[in-house]
């Protein structure tokens, strides 16, 4: 009876928290729902002057066989066609659909977190933080970034249905959502590896425990010849026998991968193999082919961007629609401090709680890094080294890691593991009231920051003026602002901006 009442209470809390998330998202992003469609900056190509937004068979075939702004995203273009058929060029409907898909993403994330026994109120706050984080504005408010919210919605719906149906049969729904995600934006290329890492974690779990990791036994298949010579034809004994392993660390991993559903992921990887050449071909931009990028620059961009996206997820400071290119001189110290502190924490956690680190923390951190790989700097994306919109999917894994830690510290019996954490549980930092007050305060500050930053996105002139006034600024913003000042016949500002651009080019 108590179990039934507890289940009913959790169901009520689930609907209550999700409804509250929807209301808050609608209220926060209502400030920008009437912002116009931009005359430039991709909106004119995607929407404003796009002659293929009518819902016709030829246009549908066209978007499944052509790219738009250097990206293959037919599902995203179909979503614009829906808006155009209903609203014409009224920006209200386009913004409304962006917000709708953002809500779908947040609810999918909420349900994914709950599958890992993260407490409902912790899940609510983490999803709220993700939803109202100022870095989300670029993906939600900018109409040309519809592909972010669409891709993420299908991405996390795929994860949710994959996990829900894992113990039954291959989920066609999860696989279809993955394909829709890929057709919305190639950023979903990381999903099969994320699912593989989930299988690695799941293979170590037996009835909610990780204690099986310490066993030095393995399924009988791995040493078939030796056992056959020992027991002859006694197959019944062979099927239930176990044996000692000389190198347990290696064989434990092999055993767990073999015992997982890893091989059922081959359709996902097949889709990736098919999409990689399409993505490479469509994202080739002739304008940037002449820009030399050394291997050193790519490596440092990768190292810096992992730091930048991690920091930006936790501390959204110095937001900018167009960030300046990475400079080694200005960033080396903070990057070194970040990695030294990070590796120190990892080593301590590995020594103190090896099981927790190997089977939970490490896979989640790998999910964060792998989901960033398409935009982290290994492949040059024009003149942009990093952008807030690229954090839309990767940042979820950071908040997921926080959810795992908070649930473990505050409710040590909720997520059962072989290694206790009683000492950490006694810390005042893990006091429930302290955590709630901290999350409320942090969420409130993010909402205020979000609303203030939304004002920058009211029109293009505000955007490029804001980016130009940031130090250091991105010369792309200066070029756009010069064009807009030229249309206004504001010659004085054009000269000032031209001098700024000239000095920036000399510095580079």
CA dist 47 and 36 (Å) reads 11
pLDDT at 287 over 90: no
Q: Is 72 exposed, middle or buried (0-12, 13-18, 19+ CB in 10 A)?
A: buried
Contact status, residue 452 vs residue 316, Cβ threshold 8 Å: no
Q: What is the pTM of this model?
A: 0.83
pLDDT for the residue numbered 192: 94
DSSP labels, 345-397: HHHHHHHH-HHHIIIIIHHHHHHHHHHHGGGSSSS-BTTBS--GGGGTTHHHH
pLDDT in tens, 9-56: 666 778 899 999 999 999 999 999 999 999 878 898 999 999 999 988
Do 283 and 213 lie in one domain? The reply is no
> Does pLDDT of 508 surpass 60?
no
The residue out of 458, 484, 499 marking a domain boundary is: 458
- Predicted pLDDT of residue 467: 82
- When pLDDT is cut at 50, 70 and 90, the band that residue 289 belongs to is very low
In whole angstroms, what separates CA 340 from the centre of its chain? 24
Asked which of 333-342, 381-390, 443-452 is least confident by mean pLDDT, the reply is 381-390
Confidence of residue 233 (pLDDT cuts 50, 70, 90): very low
Is the pLDDT higher at 410 or at 217?
410
**pLDDT of 270-284, one tens digit each?**
988 888 777 766 665
497 vs 441 pLDDT, higher one: 441
Select the more confidently predicted residue: 171 or 490: 171
Same domain, 255 and 337: no
Are 373 and 466 within one domain?
no
104 burial type by CB count under 10 A (0-12 exposed, 13-18 middle, 19+ buried): middle
Q: Looking at the structure, tell me whether residues 311 and 404 fall in a common domain.
A: yes
Least confident of 34-43, 167-176, 322-331, 374-383: 374-383
- For residues 262-275, give the mean pLDDT: 85
Give the mean pLDDT of the chain. 79
Cα separation, 29 vs 453, in Å, equals 11
Domain count, the chain: 3
249 and 366, same domain (yes or no): no
Question: Mean pLDDT across the stretch 216-232?
Answer: 38
- What value does the mean pLDDT take over residues 480-502? 66
Same domain, residue pair 316 and 213: no
Tokens of 198: 């989930």
The predicted structure's pLDDT at residue 490? 66
Assess whether pLDDT exceeds 80 at residue 253: no
Of 214, 241, 259, which one is at a domain's C-terminal end?
Answer: 259
Check whether residue 451 and residue 463 sit in a common domain: no
Stretch among 136-150, 185-199, 250-264, 353-367 having the lowest mean pLDDT:
250-264
C-alpha to C-alpha distance for 296 and 302, rounded to whole angstroms: 10
Which of 212, 232, 259 terminates a domain? The answer is 259
Same-domain pairing of 233 and 276: no
**pLDDT category, 468, cuts 50, 70, 90?**
confident
Burial 329-351 (b: 16+ CB within 10 A, else e): eebeeebeebeeeeeeeeeeeee
Averaged pLDDT for residues 481-498 = 67
% residues pLDDT > 90 (the chain):
43
pLDDT value for 167: 74
Residue 239 sits in the same domain as residue 358: no
- ∠ CA 163-167-169, nearest 5°, is 95
From 69-73, 272-276, 401-405, 494-498, the region with the lowest mean pLDDT: 494-498
Continuous segment of H or E residues that includes residue 10:
helix 2-29
With b for 16 or more beta-carbon neighbours within 10 A and e for fewer, the 43-66 pattern comes to beebbbebebbeeeeebeeebeee
Q: What are phi and psi of 325, to 5 degrees?
A: -65, 155
Q: Do 332 and 420 sit in the same domain of this protein?
A: yes
- Give the pLDDT confidence score for residue 430 in this predicted structure: 63
Residues contacting residue 497 through CB under 8 Å, at least 6 positions apart: 468, 478, 481, 482, 485
- Banded model confidence at residue 415, pLDDT cuts 50, 70, 90: low
Q: What is the pLDDT of residue 504?
A: 53
Q: Are residues 384 and 445 in the same domain?
A: yes
Residue 490 phi, psi dihedral angles, 5° rounding = -95, 80
Q: Which residue has the tokens 């829906």?
A: 82
Residue span of the structural domain in which 222 resides? 204-259
For residues 254 and 269, membership in a common domain is answered with: no
| Contact present, 337 and 399 (Cβ < 8 Å) | no
Checking if the pLDDT of 389 tops 70, the result is yes
């Amino acid at each position: 009876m108590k179990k039934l009442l507890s289940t009913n209470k959790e169901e009520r809390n689930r609907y209550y928290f999700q409804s509250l998330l929807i209301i808050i998202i609608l209220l926060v992003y209502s400030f920008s729902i009437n912002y116009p469609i931009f005359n430039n900056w991709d909106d004119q190509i995607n929407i404003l002057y796009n002659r293929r937004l009518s819902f016709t068979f030829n246009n549908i075939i066209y978007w499944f066989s052509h790219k738009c702004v250097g990206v293959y995203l037919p599902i995203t273009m179909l979503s614009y066609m829906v808006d155009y058929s209903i609203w014409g060029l009224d920006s209200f409907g386009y913004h409304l659909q962006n917000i709708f898909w953002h809500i779908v993403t947040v609810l999918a994330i909420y349900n994914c977190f709950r599958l890992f026994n993260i407490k409902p109120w912790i899940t609510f706050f983490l999803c709220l933080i993700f939803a109202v984080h100022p870095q989300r504005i670029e993906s939600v408010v900018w109409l040309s970034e519809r592909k972010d919210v669409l891709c993420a919605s299908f991405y996390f719906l795929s994860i949710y249905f994959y996990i829900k149906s894992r113990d039954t049969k291959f989920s066609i729904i999860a696989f279809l959502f993955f394909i829709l995600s890929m057709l919305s934006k190639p950023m979903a290329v990381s999903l099969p590896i994320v699912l593989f890492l989930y299988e690695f974690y799941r293979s170590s779990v037996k009835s909610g425990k990780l204690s099986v990791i310490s066993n030095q036994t393995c399924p009988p298949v791995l040493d078939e010849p030796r056992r056959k010579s020992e027991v002859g034809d006694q197959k019944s004994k062979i099927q239930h026998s176990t044996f000692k392993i000389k190198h347990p660390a290696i064989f434990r991993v092999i055993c767990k991968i073999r015992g997982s559903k890893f091989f059922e992921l081959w359709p996902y990887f097949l889709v990736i193999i098919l999409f990689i050449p399409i993505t490479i071909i469509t994202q080739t931009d002739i304008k940037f082919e002449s820009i030399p990028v050394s291997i050193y620059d790519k490596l440092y961009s990768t190292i810096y961007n992992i730091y930048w996206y991690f920091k930006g997820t936790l501390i959204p400071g110095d937001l900018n629609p167009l960030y300046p290119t990475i400079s080694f001189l200005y960033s080396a110290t903070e990057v070194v401090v970040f990695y030294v502190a990070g590796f120190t924490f990892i080593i301590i956690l590995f020594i103190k709680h090896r099981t927790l680190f190997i089977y939970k923390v490490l896979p989640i951190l790998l999910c964060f890094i792998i989901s960033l790989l398409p935009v982290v700097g290994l492949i040059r994306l024009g003149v942009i080294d990093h952008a807030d919109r690229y954090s839309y999917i990767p940042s979820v894994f950071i908040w997921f890691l926080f959810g795992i830690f908070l649930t473990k510290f505050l409710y040590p019996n909720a997520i059962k593991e072989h290694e206790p954490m009683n000492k950490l549980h006694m810390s005042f930092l893990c006091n429930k009231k302290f955590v709630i007050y901290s999350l409320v305060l942090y969420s409130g500050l993010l909402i205020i920051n979000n609303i203030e930053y939304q004002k920058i996105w009211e029109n293009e002139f505000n955007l490029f003026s804001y980016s130009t006034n940031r130090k250091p600024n991105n010369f792309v913003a200066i070029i756009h602002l010069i064009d807009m000042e030229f249309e206004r016949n504001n010659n004085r500002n054009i000269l000032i901006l031209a001098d700024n651009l000239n000095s920036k080019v000399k510095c580079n």
